């Protein structure tokens, strides 16, 4: 019979024959003239958005009405083939394969949630299929290049954003926060929102996202003090979010949450095993939140294309649901959109019948390779315009539905309408009860009151008193040293170097005063000058005080720890060399400070601390601030906490301190008259070095604690200066006061044992000078002895020749015997040498004993002088 109905005779027949045939076929072929067109649909009956629970019955209601209408697709019958996608793209992929590769051919696809629609719409172009979605709000689906055949009766999620921006501006909020589930629909919605709020001069201060567990994201919102929060997530994740919101106390009068309005009305009361919050806790956490919802039910009593009003539609839908609670039925709010989607499809297909017939095509001829029929359906859908139960149905150029936005607020556990927004006209209308629960809308952020932390005045005054007394002590020491500079004991301590030490100590103490001056005492513009005073006073004071002491100890070490031949050359070091050494150290400091100030000058930086909430005030926080003297490369000059970079100033000073400790240790047992206080200098160096090496790192660590940092630094300066002045000057004052500066050196020698060492040193130097003179005399005598030896040798040789000639003459003709008397002065000993004990005849006998004379003279050497000379040597 089916084949018979499909192969009706096409030859001409009479009017009576045709009537008879139609009468017979009307009994045997109930679907006469109704060719089936199949719609492949995916309805999520579970998952993140179980919208199919109400949308599927609504779509079936529309199909029944369309198929019973004689003015819409009279020759066709629409049939729905549907599956449960579970709002899961993976499951939807499998189902899409079944729809495409299992007969019959589907003329249109109708997916549900956005993630599934994205998959279906992107693949449909390959099969020349029109896609019409009833529950997809992802802004990404508005891309015509990616989804060329996609339409939807559910407006884009970006339609919420103009409404949100209007609300932000109405309540004068300029800072918001966002938290989103990491899916494409919410990411693209948030990107659109960010562009819109930026144009409106509103800042998104915090942007958090999560995949499945929102705990960390909610904690970050709390930590960042988010107040106005836009939440973009599905209903199941919304319960997880607000369970964490309850735990973090991120709700109440201080906070406003903006959520999507298409959740079930009692979504927060539904038991969910994935959360551990009670219904009461969830109800408390969600109270007061605002929703923006696309108007999905026509508020006016108008009969549209289906000849039903919105209220009549709801009544029929409730009947089809079998009395289920709408609040517990997924997709109940979107049901009008599914209903109108079927009507939009039917009207579009009905509109294509005539143009296709003109081209020789029919709808039943559609296959996945026929682009002409697809193009005709696309044109019909693109020009759709009718009144539906959800309102006026019309599509924009991207295939998205244009609609109004409903604004609601949860008050007392139920949603209350507070306004509408028409995005096409920018019109925001409010109901009479547009009053915020409580005293009014909260601030977009806590009112932050900046409060500078200043140094404790009691501490500053106390330390300043000690610094002032130290300066007075330095003046007394300096005056004493200058007044008694002619006293020999003071002269032997290098008084000019001591004067430099006193001046440097006073400059270091003077640095305590600008060190304690902050914004409480001077204007912020003048604060950099105070920073310069701190740096220069402390730097130059250290160079003068420590540099002069370092020069003393360095000179003592250089002279008394070298070899003897070098020691003689350096014992008589001129004073100007000592002053030049201090000048070099001072010049290095001045040069480095000048380079610092020219290349990287000091300026004010403000450190911010954790905000503090005063008791009893919900919207006020105290922002503690602290001013610092800083520069762009402060870690290069001084170094900073937790840095390993080179520290120019601290590195140079630290090396000087370490070297000073070493030199003081090496010279602790040396005694010298020229610098008679070098042991006291070494003790002062020990104390200064230890205090500086402890203070420098500790003050960097405590830089954020103004009182502790100032106390540690200033007291270290005060103690080091006091120790230096007391150790160097007080013993000198005591000595001169108790013994009297008018006493002679002889009296001082009798009264003190220490002067004995000085006299012994003087005698030792005198003996050394006499030794040098005697060595010169001995050298001259040795030269004279050598000359006499040569003369004796010549005379011996002459006498030998004479004797030989005399013997020869006697053999031939002996002359009369005579003895010639020689000159006694020729054999006289040198001046200062003893004459021979017994030798009355200085002639031949003396020559016979010439060797003994030589032997006695040879005993006169450098180590064997005459006894009278030896007494002079050791006098």
- At residue 565, does pLDDT exceed 70? no
Chain mean pLDDT for the chain: 80
Which one is predicted more confidently, 219 or 668? Answer: 219
| Residue given tokens 């055949």 in the structure block | 149
* CA angle in degrees (0–180, nearest 5) for 848-851-853: 100
Q: Mind listing the pLDDT tens digit for each residue in 769-793? A: 788 888 888 988 888 888 888 888 8
- At residue 835, does pLDDT exceed 60? no
- At residue 684, does pLDDT exceed 80? yes
Q: Mind listing the pLDDT tens digit for each residue in 450-466? A: 778 788 888 888 888 99
3-state SS string for 734-770: HHHHHHCCCCCHHHHHHHCCHHHHHHHHHHHHHHHHH
Q: Which pLDDT score, from 0 to 100, does residue 809 have?
A: 60
Q: Which pLDDT band, with edges at 50, 70 and 90, does 753 fall under?
A: very low
CB–CB of 407/163 below 8 Å?
yes
Q: Which pLDDT score, from 0 to 100, does residue 96 have?
A: 94
Which one is predicted more confidently, 515 or 338? Answer: 338
Q: Which pLDDT band, with edges at 50, 70 and 90, does 761 fall under?
A: low
- Which tokens belong to 620? 């006020």
- At residue 439, does pLDDT exceed 80? no
- H-helix or E-strand containing 726? helix 706-739
Q: Which pLDDT band, with edges at 50, 70 and 90, does 438 fall under?
A: very low
Question: If you average pLDDT over residues 205-216, what whole number do you get?
Answer: 93
Which one is predicted more confidently, 776 or 703? Answer: 776
CB–CB of 266/415 below 8 Å?
no
Q: Which pLDDT score, from 0 to 100, does residue 36 have?
A: 94
Q: Which pLDDT band, with edges at 50, 70 and 90, does 10 fall under?
A: very low
Distances in Å between the alpha carbon of 548 and those of 488, 501, 535, 728? 20, 6, 20, 12
User: Of the given ranges (254-258, 662-666, 771-775, 854-858), which has the lowest mean pLDDT?
Assistant: 854-858
The span from the CA of 173 to the CA of 227, in Å, is: 10
Q: Which pLDDT band, with edges at 50, 70 and 90, does 760 fall under?
A: low
User: Of the given ranges (595-599, 835-839, 869-873), which has the lowest mean pLDDT?
Assistant: 869-873
Q: Which pLDDT score, from 0 to 100, does residue 445 have?
A: 61
Give the chain's radius of gyration (CA, Å): 57
Alpha carbons within 13 angstroms on the beta-carbon side of residue 78 total 31
Q: For the chain, what percent of residues have pLDDT higher than 90?
A: 34
- Which tokens belong to 247? 């735990």
Nearest C-alpha neighbor of 235 from the set 336, 120, 331, 164: 331
The span from the CA of 515 to the CA of 463, in Å, is: 11
- Quick check: pTM over 0.75? no
User: Of the given ranges (128-137, 476-485, 731-740, 743-752), which has the lowest mean pLDDT?
Assistant: 743-752
- At residue 823, does pLDDT exceed 60? no
- At residue 330, does pLDDT exceed 50? yes
Q: Which pLDDT score, from 0 to 100, does residue 821 have?
A: 44
- At residue 488, does pLDDT exceed 50? yes
- At residue 26, does pLDDT exceed 50? no
Q: Which pLDDT score, from 0 to 100, does residue 868 have?
A: 44
Q: Mind listing the pLDDT tens digit for each residue in 167-180? A: 999 888 999 999 99
| Residue given tokens 């003895």 in the structure block | 819
Question: If you average pLDDT over residues 796-808, what whole number do you get?
Answer: 77
- At residue 309, does pLDDT exceed 90? yes
Q: Which pLDDT band, with edges at 50, 70 and 90, does 589 fall under?
A: confident
Q: What is the secondary structure of 618-671 as a DSSP string?
A: SSEEEEEEEEEEE-TTHHHHT--TT--S--HHHHHHHHHHHHHHHHHHHTTT--
User: Of the given ranges (431-440, 493-502, 746-755, 847-856), which has the lowest mean pLDDT?
Assistant: 847-856
Q: Which pLDDT band, with edges at 50, 70 and 90, does 159 fall under?
A: confident
Distances in Å between the alpha carbon of 527 and those of 126, 460, 531? 72, 17, 6
- At residue 356, does pLDDT exceed 90? yes
- At residue 825, does pLDDT exceed 50? no
- Which tokens belong to 11? 């030859």
Question: If you average pLDDT over residues 717-729, what whole number do you get?
Answer: 89
Q: Which pLDDT score, from 0 to 100, does residue 697 have?
A: 79
Q: Is 386 exposed, middle or buried (0-12, 13-18, 19+ CB in 10 A)?
A: middle
Residue 288: CB partners within 8 Å, gap ≥ 6?
251, 252, 256, 257, 409, 410, 411, 437, 438
| Residue given tokens 């891309």 in the structure block | 143
């Amino acid at each position: 019979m089916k084949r018979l109905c499909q192969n009706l005779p096409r030859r001409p027949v009479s009017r009576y024959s045709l009537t008879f045939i139609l009468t017979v076929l009307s009994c045997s072929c109930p679907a006469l003239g109704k060719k089936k067109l199949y719609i492949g649909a995916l309805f999520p009956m579970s998952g993140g958005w179980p919208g199919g629970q109400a949308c599927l019955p609504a779509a079936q209601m529309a199909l029944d009405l369309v198929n019973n209408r004689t003015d819409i697709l009279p020759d066709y019958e629409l049939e729905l083939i549907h599956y449960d996608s579970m709002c899961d793209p993976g499951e939807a992929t499998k189902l899409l394969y079944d729809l495409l590769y299992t007969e019959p051919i589907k003329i249109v696809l109708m997916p549900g949630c956005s993630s599934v629609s994205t998959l279906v719409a992107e693949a449909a172009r390959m099969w020349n299929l029109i896609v019409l979605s009833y529950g997809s709000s992802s802004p990404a689906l508005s891309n015509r290049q990616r989804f060329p055949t996609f339409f939807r009766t559910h407006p884009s999620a970006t339609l919420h954003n103009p409404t949100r921006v209007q609300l932000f501006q109405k309540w004068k909020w300029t800072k918001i926060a966002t938290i989103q589930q990491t899916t494409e629909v919410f990411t693209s919605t948030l990107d659109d929102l960010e562009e819109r709020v930026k144009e409106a001069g509103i800042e998104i201060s915090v942007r958090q996202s999560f995949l499945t567990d929102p705990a960390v994201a909610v904690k970050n919102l709390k930590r960042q003090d988010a107040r106005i929060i836009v939440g973009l997530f599905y209903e199941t994740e919304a319960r997880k979010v607000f369970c964490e919101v309850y735990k973090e106390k991120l709700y109440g009068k201080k906070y406003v949450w903006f959520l999507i309005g298409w959740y079930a009305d009692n979504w927060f009361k539904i038991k969910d095993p994935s959360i551990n919050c009670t219904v009461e806790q969830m109800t408390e956490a969600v109270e007061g939140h605002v929703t923006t919802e696309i108007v999905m039910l026509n508020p006016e009593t108008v009969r549209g294309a289906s000849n039903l009003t919105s209220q009549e539609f709801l009544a029929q839908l409730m009947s089809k649901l079998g009395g289920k609670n709408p609040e517990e039925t997924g997709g109940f709010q979107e049901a009008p959109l599914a209903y109108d989607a079927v009507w939009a499809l039917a009207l579009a297909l009905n509109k294509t019948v005539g143009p296709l017939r003109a081209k020789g095509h029919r709808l039943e001829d559609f296959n996945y390779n026929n682009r002409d029929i697809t193009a005709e359906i696309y044109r019909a859908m693109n020009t759709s315009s009718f009144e539906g139960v959800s309102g006026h149905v019309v599509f924009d150029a991207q295939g998205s539905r244009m609609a109004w936005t409903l604004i609601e607020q949860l008050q007392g556990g139920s949603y209350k309408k507070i306004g509408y927004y028409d995005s096409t006209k920018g019109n925001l209308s409010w109901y009479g009860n547009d009053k915020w629960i409580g005293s009014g809308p909260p601030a977009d952020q806590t009112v932050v009151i900046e409060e500078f932390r200043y140094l404790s005045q009691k501490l500053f005054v106390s330390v300043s008193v000690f610094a002032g007394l130290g300066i007075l002590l330095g003046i007394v020491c300096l005056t004493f040293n200058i007044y008694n500079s002619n006293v020999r004991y003071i002269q032997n301590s290098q008084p000019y170097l001591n004067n430099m030490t006193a001046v440097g100590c006073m400059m270091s103490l003077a640095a305590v005063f600008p060190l304690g001056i902050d914004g409480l005492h001077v204007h912020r513009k003048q604060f950099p000058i105070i920073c310069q005073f701190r740096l220069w006073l402390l730097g130059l004071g250290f160079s003068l005080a420590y540099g002069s002491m370092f020069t003393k100890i360095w000179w003592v070490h250089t002279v008394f720890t070298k070899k003897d031949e070098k020691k003689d050359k350096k014992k008589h070091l001129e004073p100007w060399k000592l002053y030049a050494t201090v000048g070099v150290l001072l010049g290095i400091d001045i040069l480095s400070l000048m380079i610092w100030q020219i290349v990287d000058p000091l300026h004010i930086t403000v450190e911010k601390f954790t905000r503090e909430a005063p008791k009893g005030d919900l919207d006020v926080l105290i922002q503690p601030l602290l001013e610092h003297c800083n520069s762009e490369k402060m870690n290069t000059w001084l170094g900073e906490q937790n840095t390993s970079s080179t520290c120019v100033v601290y590195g140079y000073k630290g090396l000087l301190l370490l070297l000073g400790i070493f030199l003081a240790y090496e010279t602790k047992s040396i005694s010298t008259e020229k610098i008679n206080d070098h042991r006291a200098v070494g003790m002062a160096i020990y104390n200064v070095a230890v205090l500086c090496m402890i203070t420098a790192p500790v003050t960097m660590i405590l830089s954020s604690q103004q009182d502790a940092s100032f106390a540690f630094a200033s007291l270290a300066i005060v103690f080091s200066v006091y120790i230096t002045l007391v150790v160097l000057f007080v013993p000198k004052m005591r000595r001169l006061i108790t013994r009297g500066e008018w006493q002679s050196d002889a009296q001082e020698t009798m009264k003190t044992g220490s002067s004995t060492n000085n006299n012994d040193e003087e005698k030792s130097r005198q003996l050394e000078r006499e030794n040098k003179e005697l060595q010169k005399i001995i050298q001259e005598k040795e030269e004279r002895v050598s000359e006499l030896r040569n003369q004796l040798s010549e005379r011996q040789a002459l006498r030998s020749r004479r004797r030989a000639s005399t013997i020869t003459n006697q053999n031939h003709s002996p002359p009369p015997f005579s003895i010639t008397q020689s000159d006694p002065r020729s054999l006289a000993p040198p001046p200062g040498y003893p004459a021979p004990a017994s030798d009355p005849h200085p002639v031949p006998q003396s020559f016979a004993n010439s060797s003994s004379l030589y032997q006695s003279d040879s005993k006169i050497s450098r180590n064997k002088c005459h006894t009278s000379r030896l007494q002079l040597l050791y006098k």
